[in-house]
């Protein structure tokens, strides 16, 4: 699960998008993946599925709202009509899936333990796109040898988030909340690797802009 600190650290990315008036090569995949993950964990934490999980519902409910705002912002500044349509289609599928799962869990499963187990397994499966979504950005980072499209504080927050939730899961003995933080650590390694080359690219770009003037 992603904490609100991870969501708020994304604001630097969207400030850049707002200034440039375009999403450029920024990918919407991490936001769609995180939204799906947050919605599943809200389902896991609601009282009729898992008792005493107010913190899970609160954090992931807030994350759901924040991610929806980010996605709306991304769609607004996206000039590619096909990409906007794909994003809306994925968003509709995510909402439909959560609604169907919620209905099936309520009508077909009648004990908290079984409901919690089913929602927890689905939550673990949905952790994969959330933590794997940055791989698309990491691939771009490796190809361009630039960290421009991978905000440092987002990577740091993702890693710290994994550590915090892992500790919480151990304390509560909740295996479904226990998620890995290896991709967050990998992002930090890549950031350190390509940070210098990014500064060099920025210097060359400014020099070229100066010559063009």
Residues in the chain: 213
Q: In this predicted model, what pLDDT tens digit does every residue of 101-128 receive, in sequence order?
A: 989 888 888 888 888 888 888 877 777 6
Between the alpha carbon of residue 71 and those of residues 11, 124, 125, 141, the distances in Å are: 12, 23, 22, 22
Give the Cα separation of 118 and 113 in Å (integer).
Answer: 9
Q: Tell me phi and psi for residue 28, to 5 degrees.
A: -80, -10
pLDDT band at 92 (very low <50, low <70, confident <90, very high): very high
Q: Which domain holds residue 113?
A: 4-212
Q: In this predicted model, what pLDDT tens digit does every residue of 121-168 receive, in sequence order?
A: 887 777 765 666 555 666 666 666 665 555 555 555 555 655 665 565
Considering only residues 117 and 169, tell me which one the structure prediction assigns the higher pLDDT. Answer: 117
pLDDT of residue 180: 46
Contacts (Cβ under 8 Å, ≥6 apart) of 180: 131, 162, 166
- Overall domain count for the chain: 1
Q: In this predicted model, what pLDDT tens digit does every residue of 8-58 receive, in sequence order?
A: 555 567 777 787 777 777 778 878 888 888 888 888 888 888 887 787 788
Confidence check: pLDDT of 67 > 90: no
């Amino acid at each position: 699960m992603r904490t609100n600190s991870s969501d708020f650290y994304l604001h630097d990315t969207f400030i850049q998008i707002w200034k440039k008036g375009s999403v450029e090569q920024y990918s919407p995949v991490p936001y769609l993946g995180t939204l799906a993950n947050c919605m599943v964990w809200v389902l896991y934490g609601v009282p009729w599925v898992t008792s005493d999980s107010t913190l899970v519902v609160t954090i992931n409910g807030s994350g759901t709202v924040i991610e929806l705002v980010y996605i709306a912002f991304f769609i607004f500044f996206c000039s590619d009509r096909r990409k906007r349509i794909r994003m809306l289609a994925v968003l509709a599928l995510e909402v439909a899936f959560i609604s169907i799962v919620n209905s099936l869990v309520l009508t077909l499963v009648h004990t908290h333990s079984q409901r919690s187990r089913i929602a927890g397994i689905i939550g673990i499966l949905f952790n994969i796109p959330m933590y794997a979504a940055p791989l698309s950005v990491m691939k771009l980072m490796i190809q361009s040898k630039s960290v421009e499209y991978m905000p440092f504080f987002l990577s740091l927050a993702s890693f710290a988030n994994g550590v915090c939730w892992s500790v919480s899961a151990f304390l509560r003995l909740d295996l479904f909340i226990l998620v890995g933080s290896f991709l967050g650590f990998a992002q930090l390694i890549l950031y350190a690797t390509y940070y210098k080359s990014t500064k060099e690219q920025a210097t060359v770009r400014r020099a070229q802009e100066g010559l063009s003037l």
